[in-house]
Amino acid sequence: MKSLKYIFLTISLLGAAFATHAQDVISVRCELTGCQGSLALFSFDGITFREVQRVMATNENVYAFSLPKGEPKFYYVGPFANNQRPALLGSENGVVIKGDCANIRQTQITGSKLNQEYDIIKTRINKHNNLHGMALRKWAMAKEEEAKKVAVAELKSVDDLKVAFLDSLKKANPMFARVAAINTYVSYPNNPGNYANEIEYFANEFFRFVDFKDAGYNGMPWVYENFSSYAQTLASVGLPPTETKIYLDKALAKFPEGGEAQQFAMAGVMSGLQKQKSAGYTEYAQRFIKSFGTKAPKAAAAIKEELDRAMRLMTGAVAPDFAQATPEGKDMKLSDLRGKYVLIDFWASWCGPCRRENPNVVRMYDQYKGKGFDILSVSLDNSRDKWLQAIEQDKLAWKHVSDLKGWSNEVAQMYEVQGIPKTFLIDPQGKIIATDLRGPSLEAKLAEIFKTN
Domain parsing of the chain, residue ranges? 22-111, 115-311, 323-451
Q: Secondary structure of the chain in the HEC alphabet?
A: CHHHHHHHHHHHHHHHHHHHHHHCEEEEEEEEECCCCEEEEEEECCCCEEEEEEEECCECCEEEEEEECCCCEEEEEEEECCEEEEEEECCCCCEEEEEEHHHHHHCEEECCHHHHHHHHHHHHHHHHHHHHHHHHHHHHHCCCHHHHHHHHHHHHHHHHHHHHHHHHHHHHCHHHHHHHHHCCCCCCCCCCCCCCCHHHHHHHHCCCCCCCCCHHHCCCHHHHHHHHHHHHHHHHCCCCHHHHHHHHHHHHCCCCCCCHHHHHHHHHHHHHHHHCCCCHHHHHHHHHHHHHCCCCHHHHHHHHHHHHHHHCCCCCCECCCCEEECCCCCEEEHHHHCCCEEEEEEECCCCHHHHHHHHHHHHHHHHHHHHCEEEEEEECCCCHHHHHHHHHHCCCCCEEECCCCHHHCHHHHHCCCCCCCEEEEECCCCEEEEECCCHHHHHHHHHHHHHCC
What pLDDT is recorded for position 94? 92
Judge whether residue 14 has pLDDT over 60. Answer: no
Q: According to the model, what pLDDT value does residue 452 have?
A: 52
Architecture of domain 22-111: Sandwich (2.60)
Check whether 22 has a pLDDT greater than 90.
Answer: no
Report pLDDT digits (tens) over 100-111: 999 999 999 999
Task: Give per-residue pLDDT as tens, 424-442.
Answer: 999 999 999 999 999 999 9
Lowest average pLDDT, out of 39-43, 156-160, 312-316, goes to: 312-316
Flag whether pLDDT at 15 surpasses 50. no
Band (23; pLDDT cuts 50, 70, 90): low
231 pLDDT above the threshold of 90:
yes
* Fold exhibited by the domain 323-451: Glutaredoxin (3.40.30)
Q: 30 near 65, Cβ under 8 Å? A: yes
Asked if the peptide bond before residue 359 counts as cis, ω within 30 degrees of 0, the response is no
| Closest C-alpha among 303, 231, 244 to residue 272 | 231
Q: Is the confidence at residue 287, as pLDDT, over 80?
A: yes
- pTM for this prediction: 0.75
Q: pLDDT-based confidence at 314, cuts 50/70/90?
A: confident
Mean predicted lDDT score pLDDT of the chain: 91
- Mean pLDDT within 42-52: 94
- pLDDT above 90 as % of the chain: 85
pLDDT of residue 4 exceeding 50? no
**Buried b / exposed e across 307-340, counting CB within 10 Å, b at 16+?**
beebeeeeeeeebeebebeeeeeeebebeebeeb
Asked if residue 443 lies in contact with residue 360, where contact means CB atoms within 8 angstroms, the answer is: yes
pLDDT in tens, 203-214: 999 999 999 999
* pLDDT confidence of residue 180: 97
pLDDT at 169 over 90: yes
Mean pLDDT value of segment 336-359:
96
Q: What is the Cα gyration radius of the chain? A: 29
Do 378 and 424 contact (CB within 8 A), yes or no?
A: no
pLDDT score recorded for residue 388: 97
Residue 324 has pLDDT above 70, yes or no: yes
Model pLDDT, residue 277: 78
Length of the chain in residues, anyone?
453
